[in-house]
């Protein structure tokens, strides 16, 4: 059923999609803005297409104690609920001393990332020092959500041949973001009207959809992504079928996917998109400034306003990286979240850390392929004296507890539940997985 739908949505009236000034397969701007009822319908349809439950799963947060990863910062080990009665392990960073309600932040990792990734705990410590409560968690298939408790496995990329497996995977990842927002919202020390989501690479894709369907998100920062195009575009044709291509194709009922998703985000609040001019992932095909200029014109035509229209910035000599730890991003976030321990002047006075030199000095791990200067290794991150945090410290559950309860956490168990939800008998499920699984 999908192929005829995609074919029918192809727009022949647009200029040549190979022209670098235009995204491919996106319609021209609409002539009349969409109504509130239409936006609400689109939001409901997106949730339905990705099997996002309404209401969301029961949260039932549980604490496994606290530790101090850096002076002035306390981190709490917690779990809370997600789809199919499963659980999410998270490390939550916050200032040791604070008054009043604080802004909240959620870190959504890229491929191979999890709460033990350098940028996750660096972000947690940096913005806890600013006066925020920061949630970092494991995506499905990584660290404590991996059957062998390993990181950088990219297990969520493994194709599962159930009738709706990619849509369910995308919906799980979006639900995980929304559950982090729910967790922050119920904390007595968090201002639920000042919650930001920070998404990197794959996380930028998931976060853009989460922002479109969850009006509780006040602020969104997308780094290494955000270039949401049209039907049969680069996201539809991603090699990552489970967590990118499949979920995005499921949204092909939208007349202009990118513009509608950003129109929904515009109605929610502010969005900042950060990319590098050397990023070979975002730069294909021609997804540079002209792409975002064209996208913004379609969003404005669709919503009828420029209020909260997304901002996009490109950095010279920069590739694929989580740029929200840099000074420009911190200044922008200060304007949105009003960190209690920072002002613009304090941010401008803070020193910077060259991440590759910091990793070499502290032993912090950067995933292979991302140590290059134009990628994560070259980031000049805001702040000084952020320590490395050991893998052991960032495990939420004691090993014995995790082994006893891992069916509530790991990818393998999610696959079985997802296939069962699609009516696949247990005896038939193994044939839908690659031989190694």
Q: What is the pLDDT of residues 48-76, one digit of tens each?
A: 999 999 999 999 999 999 999 999 999 99
CA distances from 149 to 116, 390, 406, 418 (A): 12, 15, 10, 21
| CATH number for 52 | 3.40.50.1820
Report strand pairing: 102-108 vs 352-354: unpaired
How much is the pLDDT for 434?
78
Mean pLDDT (the chain) is: 92
What is the domain extent for residue 194?
33-350+415-432
Statement: residue 149 has pLDDT above 80: yes
Task: Say how far apart CA 219 and CA 190 lie, in whole Å.
Answer: 15
Q: Considering Cα of 101, then 192, then 85, then 398, what sign does the dihedral take?
A: negative
| Segment holding 426, helix H or strand E | helix 426-429
Across the range 399-421, mean pLDDT stands at 97
Q: How far apart, in Å, do the first and last CA atoms of the chain sit?
A: 29
Q: Is residue 405 situated within a structural domain?
A: no
How much is the pLDDT for 16?
54
Residues constituting the chain? 437
Closest to 27 measured CA to CA, from 356, 324, 391, 298: 298
Q: Considering Cα of 118, then 81, then 94, then 398, what sign does the dihedral take?
A: negative
Statement: residue 20 has pLDDT above 90: no
pTM, 2 dp:
0.94
Residues 6+ positions from 339 with CB-CB distance below 8 Å: 103, 127, 130, 131, 132, 333
Q: Is residue 404 situated within a structural domain?
A: no
Q: Is residue 409 situated within a structural domain?
A: no
Statement: residue 161 has pLDDT above 60: yes
Task: Say how far apart CA 365 and CA 356 lie, in whole Å.
Answer: 10
How much is the pLDDT for 25?
65
Query: Cα angle vertex 170, ends 164, 171, to 5°?
Result: 85
Q: Is residue 252 situated within a structural domain?
A: yes
Q: Is residue 52 situated within a structural domain?
A: yes
* Structure tokens given for 271: 């969005």
pLDDT tier for residue 234 given thresholds of 50, 70 and 90? confident
DSSP state of 276: E
Closest to 378 measured CA to CA, from 421, 335, 315: 315
Q: Is 387 exposed, middle or buried (0-12, 13-18, 19+ CB in 10 A)?
A: middle
Task: Say how far apart CA 254 and CA 39 lie, in whole Å.
Answer: 11
Statement: residue 2 has pLDDT above 80: no
In the chain, the number of structural domains is 1
Statement: residue 6 has pLDDT above 80: no
How much is the pLDDT for 26?
77
How much is the pLDDT for 200?
98
Q: Is residue 114 situated within a structural domain?
A: yes
Q: What is the DSSP string of 173-211?
A: HHHHHHHHHHHHHHSTTEEEEEEEEEEETHHHHHHHHHH
Q: How many CA atoms lie within 13 A of 16 on its CB side?
A: 3
* Structure tokens given for 158: 């493994």
Across the range 112-121, mean pLDDT stands at 97
User: Are the beta carbons of 135 and 92 closer than 8 angstroms?
Assistant: yes
Closest to 397 measured CA to CA, from 172, 62, 123: 62
Q: Is residue 132 situated within a structural domain?
A: yes
* Structure tokens given for 409: 């956490």
Q: Is residue 363 situated within a structural domain?
A: no
* Structure tokens given for 42: 């689109």
Report strand pairing: 380-382 vs 352-354: antiparallel
User: Are the beta carbons of 170 and 246 closer than 8 angstroms?
Assistant: yes
């Amino acid at each position: 059923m999908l192929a005829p739908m995609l074919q029918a949505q192809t727009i022949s009236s647009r200029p040549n999609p190979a022209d670098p000034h235009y995204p491919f397969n996106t319609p021209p701007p609409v002539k009349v803005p969409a109504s509130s009822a239409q936006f609400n319908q689109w939001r409901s349809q997106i949730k339905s297409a990705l099997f996002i439950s309404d209401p969301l799963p029961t949260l039932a947060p549980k604490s496994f104690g606290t530790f101090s990863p850096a002076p002035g910062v306390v981190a709490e080990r917690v779990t809370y609920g997600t789809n199919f009665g499963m659980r999410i392990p998270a490390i939550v960073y916050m200032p040791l001393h604070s008054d009043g309600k604080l802004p909240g932040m959620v870190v959504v990792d890229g491929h191979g990332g999890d709460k033990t990734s350098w940028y996750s705990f660096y972000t947690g410590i940096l913005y806890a020092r600013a006066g925020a409560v920061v949630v970092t968690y494991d995506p499905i298939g990584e660290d404590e959500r991996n059957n062998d408790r390993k990181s950088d496995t990219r297990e969520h990329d493994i194709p599962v041949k159930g009738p709706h497996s990619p849509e369910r995977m995308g919906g799980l990842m979006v639900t995980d973001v929304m559950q982090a927002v729910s967790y922050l919202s119920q904390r007595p020390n968090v201002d639920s009207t000042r919650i930001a989501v920070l998404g990197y690479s794959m996380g930028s894709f998931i976060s853009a959809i989460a922002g479109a369907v969850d009006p509780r998100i006040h602020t969104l920062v997308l780094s290494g992504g955000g270039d949401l195009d049209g039907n049969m575009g680069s996201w539809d044709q991603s090699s990552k079928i489970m967590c990118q291509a499949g979920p995005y194709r499921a949204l092909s009922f939208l007349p202009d996917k990118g513009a509608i998703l950003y129109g929904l985000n515009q109605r929610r609040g502010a969005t900042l998109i950060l990319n590098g001019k050397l990023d070979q992932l975002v730069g294909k095909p021609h997804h540079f400034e002209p792409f975002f200029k064209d996208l913004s014109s379609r969003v404005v035509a669709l919503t009828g306003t420029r209020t909260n229209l997304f901002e996009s910035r490109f950095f010279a000599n920069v590739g694929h990286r989580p740029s929200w730890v840099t000074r420009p991003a911190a200044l922008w976030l200060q304007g949105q979240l009003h960190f209690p321990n920072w002002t613009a002047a304090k941010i401008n006075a803070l020193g910077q850390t060259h991440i590759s030199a910091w990793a070499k000095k502290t032993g912090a791990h950067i995933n292979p392929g991302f140590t290059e200067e134009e990628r994560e290794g070259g980031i000049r991150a805001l702040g000084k004296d952020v320590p490395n945090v050991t893998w052991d410290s960032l495990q939420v559950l004691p090993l014995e507890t995790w082994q006893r309860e891992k069916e509530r956490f790991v990818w393998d168990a999610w696959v079985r539940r997802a296939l069962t939800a699609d009516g696949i008998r247990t005896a038939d499920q193994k044939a839908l997985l690659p031989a190694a699984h």
